[in-house]
Amino acid sequence: MENILVICDDLWHPAEVVEKGLAARKDSRFRFDVVKAAKDI
């Protein structure tokens, strides 16, 4: 499994849209860590 960091929730990349798109992936090859504020990294 590969970990992927996703930084979103700005004007052009609303977190809700990004998270729904990533949730549609059915395989377990990737694990997505979603960060909505860069300060949380």
pTM: 0.73
Please give the Cα distance from 26 to 41 (Å, whole number): 26
- Residue 14 is predicted with a pLDDT of 92
- Asked whether 35 and 7 are in contact (CB, 8 A), the reply is yes
> Rounded to an integer, what distance in angstroms lies between the CA atom of residue 1 and that of residue 10?
27
pLDDT digits (tens, 9 = 90+) for 1-41: 899 999 999 888 899 999 999 999 888 899 999 999 877 77
Exposure pattern of 9-23 as b/e (b: 16+ CB <10 Å)? beeeeebeebbeeee
β pairing state of 2-7 and 30-35: parallel
